[in-house]
Amino acid sequence: MTKYVYDFAEGGKDMKDLLGGKGANLAEMTVLGLPVPPGFVITTEACTSYLRTGELPDELAAEVEEHLVALETAMGKRLGDAEDPLLISVRSGGKFSMPGMMDTVLNIGLNDESVVGLAKQSGSDRFAWDSYRRLVQMFSKTVLGLDGEAFDEAFDAAKHDKGTKDDLQLDAQDLERIVGQFQDIVAEQTGKRFPQDPRVQMELAVRAVFESWNTDRAKLYRRQERIPHDLGTAVSVCSMVFGNLGMDSGTGVAFTRDPGSGAQGVYGDYLQNAQGEDVVAGIRNTLPLQQLADLDRTSYDQLMATMATLERHYRDLCDIEFTIERGKLWMLQTRVGKRTAGAAFRIATQLVDEGLITEDEALLRVTGAQLAQLMFPRFGSIDEATTLTTGMGASPGAAVGRVVFDSKTAVQWKERGEDVILVRRETNPDDLAGMIASAGILTSRGGKTSHAAVVARGMGKTCVCGAEELEVDLHARTLRGPDGTVVKEGDVLSIDGTSGAVFLGTVSVTPSPVVQYFEGELEAQDGDDLVQAVHRLMSQADATRRLGVRTNADTPEDSERARRFGAQGIGLCRTEHMFLGERRQLVEDLVLADGDEEHARALAALLPLQREDFVGILRAMDGLPVTVRLLDPPLHEFLPDYVELQVEVAVAEATGSPVDPKRAALLDHVRRLHEANPMIGLRGVRLGLVIPGLFEIQVRALAEAAAQLKAEGLDPRPEVMVPLVSAVQELEIVREAAERVLSEVAAETGQDVTTLIGTMIEIPRAALTSGSIAESADFFSFGTNDLTQMGYGFSRDDVEVSFFGRYLELGVFGVSPFESIDEAGIGRLVQISVEEGRAVKPDLKIGVCGEHGGDPASVHFFHQAGLDYVSCSPFRVPVARLEAGRAALESVGSDTR
């Protein structure tokens, strides 16, 4: 029989699949002997069963009752007892942290009778009614699904009547009246009284937490973070401890290191006379954790010792939630903390130096996505900038954009191409879509542990929190600075997520020092601790990886930059990019040539230009392979626009104007060549076979360029790649012609340059017949963009606009297959091709040259599939290098498990 409920003492941190991250870590702290309030966990399996059937599992009620009775016995109290009530919290917690995305309910067990008992036992009427007020408000929004605005308005009105903005100034009588008003709202909106049976409250709360797994905001967050949708959430049921018992109580969030920078020290927020959601919601500005030492030295010292224990135990930055109840410290949660990209690199190397982890483990603690974040620019000189205010730097970076005041507007403006800064008093989970759309986030409330800060750090978004001097008026859609400056929606702000500075207008940005390091402009030893951390981990990745990393480059400048970034050659040189602009006419002349003489003249015009291009690229990549793809794009890209020609001739005929005979003849020619679907028409190898001499002239230009450089004493290593092959016969014909040209150039120049000839695998038929194709190929290179298009039957340019957004919303895709390789479908074609090709030629060199080659998740797949290299744009080369090292380590780990 399936076990659905575990006591905290029965679990551990390695049971996250079953107990969720929160439950597993509460269990781990319990086992470690840390002060954790007693409780139990309802498993993710119960959640997935409920979401699948709509009903709680039959066995669950009995198991929950058994553990609840045991909890009552341990605490010496009964849930909802009128004299001395036990109160519990019902908290969500999936395997992966999803801060603020799912629901939690505190103070379950309070009703009209038990609130009196709680007041009597605690000696504080105010505390009891404040706790009941919180339950009714939270339960109504979370479990009953009521609009929270009515409760907020009633609460604000009570404070207004009292002449205060501080909820701590409300006394017991005020809070009792508010509870009555809240209950009236519930009755008015539901037609029923607020539930008085504590066990009914608990069951409804458990159902609500399960259902919160599938809220729009939770699904959006999972898509953003690539968390699987089928995991479900566990529910932690925990006896309540109270930080709102008075000024000798409080609640806080702490980090064992600064999650923003990685610096060691005391970091966190503390709020007196409050419950946990007050800190995260940012409804009152918190105190720095260091001030707890002045308020309660004993609890502070105990907290510091506990934090040290947890960091040593988890061997990582820990994020901790705690409550102090009248001088007694309780641990409510710990987890490996989210951190910024810079903090991730710094902390990983710090932990190596402290002997807690190895260099390999450090490499696994950082990601290519984080490295990419570090390569973005930051603000340059701010001497001329006008500072509006300074808040708390919660997530580093430099963000410039137009001010918007709500999530919906942020999304709309982003869709029309605007960079935006989302400004809120504080964010909540419903703001997630706007946070994703924004370049940066600015709030007037909250600290480094507020919702805005935690979510922004997880997404790598620039964020400034707690800018208290700003008056944010959501109705007028303005914010006012401390000097009276008014910023309207649409005005530009620049925010610095490191210093917390907020500037009026646009502030210029400067290159990242990490990019300067990769460019060779900054030696590692001369850089700051971040550059040194990046250097150490990149060195470890290069020493560990099996995959080579090449670049996609079409110019000497791109080639040189990619080489500085660590590229080991060119995996894709697109020759069609050399015929853009003024050169486009040369290809048009070749395609439209009338007769052998025009044809020969057009080919002759191409040769010196191509040769010059190849000399520059081969020189930049001296000693490294350069894979040149022969002309690939659809024919229509090199022809005059068919519709424009039709209109031009038709207008001339309709107005009686003379029709230019050349334009009329050109229209006839273009009409003959016009294709309904050019992406799968006359392009690639087909174009090379239909237009005699086209591919031969490109091969000759490449061979002559290589021969020239070899004569200079350099070491050119050209490779010829034939695009869009679907049958081995196509490759055989091109290969025969290319080998003939290579022999002619060798004889003419006296320079014999070894040149490999291979093909792109980008048509499903090519992947499925790779065994025969390999007989005529020295190498394969997967063109995963076209392979994805043809495998799915998509036209990428159309579908990404027309329906991909809807597919992502519906969960058809977890991520666009053009962003990360579709392992189950397109990836299977890759695997088949590798297996068949290597069965014929065991030493067949195989790579990938689509942009998937720079996608972190795809790099891991290509490692597992046995490819020799990946190739990507120059800027993504460091990312691919890092992920290739991580993929090698993860592969070793999976082989030994």
Q: Which residues are part of the catalytic machinery?
A: 451, 849
**Two structure tokens written together for 242:** 């109270």
Taking a C-beta distance cutoff of 8 angstroms, is the pair 870, 550 a contact? yes
Give the whole-angstrom CA distance, residue 212 versus residue 94: 11
316/151 Cα distance (integer angstroms): 40
Exposure of 45 in the CB half-sphere (CA atoms within 13 A): 13
| Tokens found for residue 321 | 């939630």
Q: How many CB atoms lie within 10 A of CB 724?
A: 23
* 847 touches 869 (CB < 8 A): yes
Residue in 808, 820, 879 with CA at minimum distance from that of residue 222: 808
**CA-based torsion, 427, 429, 434, 436: positive or negative:** positive
Report the distance separating Cα 390 and Cα 292, nearest Å. Answer: 24
Under a CB-based contact definition with an 8 Å cutoff, are residues 105 and 144 in contact?
Answer: no
C-alpha count within 13 angstroms, C-beta hemisphere, residue 689:
18
To the nearest 10°, the Cα dihedral for 674, 678, 681, 687?
A: 80
Dihedrals φ, ψ of 217, to 5°?
Answer: -70, -35
Closest CA to 237 of 105, 138, 388: 105
C-alpha 35/C-alpha 669 separation (Å) is: 83
Q: What does the alpha-carbon distance between residue 163 and residue 366 come to, in Å, rounded to a whole number?
A: 51
Single out the residue of 120, 114, 163 nearest to residue 135, CA to CA: 114
Residue of 829, 836, 720 lying closest to 773 (CA atoms):
836
- Rounded-to-integer distance, Cα 543 and Cα 546, Å: 9
d(CA 730, CA 709): 31
For residue 405, the number of C-alpha atoms closer than 13 Å in the C-beta half-sphere is 16
Angle at 486 between CA 484 and CA 487, to 5 degrees: 145
Q: Is 658 exposed, middle or buried (0-12, 13-18, 19+ CB in 10 A)?
A: exposed
Q: Which residues pair with 473 in a beta bridge?
A: 478
Query: How many of the other CB atoms lie within 10 Å of CB of 818?
Result: 22
- Tell me the β-bridge partners of 421: 403, 440
User: What are residue 523's phi and psi, to 5 degrees?
Assistant: -75, 145
Burial of 162 (0-12, 13-18, 19+ CB in 10 A): middle
* Two tokens, residue 299: 């609890």
- At position 111, the amino acid (one-letter code) is N
Q: Which burial class, exposed, middle or buried, applies to 14 when counting CB atoms under 10 A from its CB (0-12, 13-18, 19+)? A: exposed
Residue 869's Cβ-count burial label (10 Å; 0-12, 13-18, 19+) is buried
- Two tokens at 435? 């946070």
CB-CB contact of 56 with 26 (8 Å): no
The one-letter amino acid at 30: T
3-class secondary-structure state, position 549: strand
- Pairwise CA distance, residues 447 & 457, whole Å: 13
Q: Are 493 and 421 in contact (CB under 8 A)?
A: yes
Q: What is the DSSP letter of 754?
A: -
